[in-house]
Amino acid sequence: MTDAAQTTMAGEAGASHPTASKYCSGCGALIHKDAAQCPKCGAPQADVRGRKNRAIAIVLALLLGGFGAHKFYLGRIGWGIVYFLFFWTIVPSVVAFVEAIIYVTMSDADFARKYG
């Protein structure tokens, strides 16, 4: 089979499932839509399902941090329970405020690596 025929068949196969792939944000290669990183260049992909949003974590830490809402959101259930048990003290609120500052200063890649 010629290269042109293979390219045509590959294009037809890709056309039947247009939502099964996307373009890499780093190199532009066609990759699977749920890929966490590009197999060609290794660039992390921003729209991976299940990824935690840093802005939501910051808002939860600032507004409901004393109750541990940001910990529950980030999947740290044990710490969320500890924050909730001691919400009546000021300690979880102060720690949550410091954590919000840490989240603000953390890069997106570091945040995704640790929580995402």
Helix pair 54-64, 108-115: axis angle to 10 deg: 80
What is the maximum span of the chain, computed from C-alpha positions, in angstroms?
Answer: 73
Radius of gyration of the chain (CA): 21
**Mean pLDDT of the 65-94 span:** 95
Coil, strand, or helix at residue 80? Answer: helix
pLDDT of residue 42: 83
Coil, strand, or helix at residue 74? Answer: coil
Residues 116 and 45: beta-carbon distance below 8 Å: no
Q: What is the pLDDT of residues 22-57, one digit of tens each?
A: 877 778 788 887 788 888 888 877 655 567 899 999
Local structure of residue 22 (DSSP, 8 states): E
pLDDT of residue 17: 52
Of residues 27 and 74, the one with the higher pLDDT is 74
Q: What percent of the chain has pLDDT over 70?
A: 79
Local structure of residue 65 (DSSP, 8 states): G
Least confident residue range of 37-51, 70-84, 86-100: 37-51
Q: Residue 64 pLDDT > 60, yes or no?
A: yes
Q: What pTM, to 2 d.p., does this model score?
A: 0.59
**Mean pLDDT of the 84-111 span:** 94
pLDDT of residue 105: 96
- The tokens for 67 are 């109750």
Handedness of CA 61, 74, 54, 52 (dihedral sign): negative
Q: Hey, where are the domains in the chain? A: 1-47, 54-115
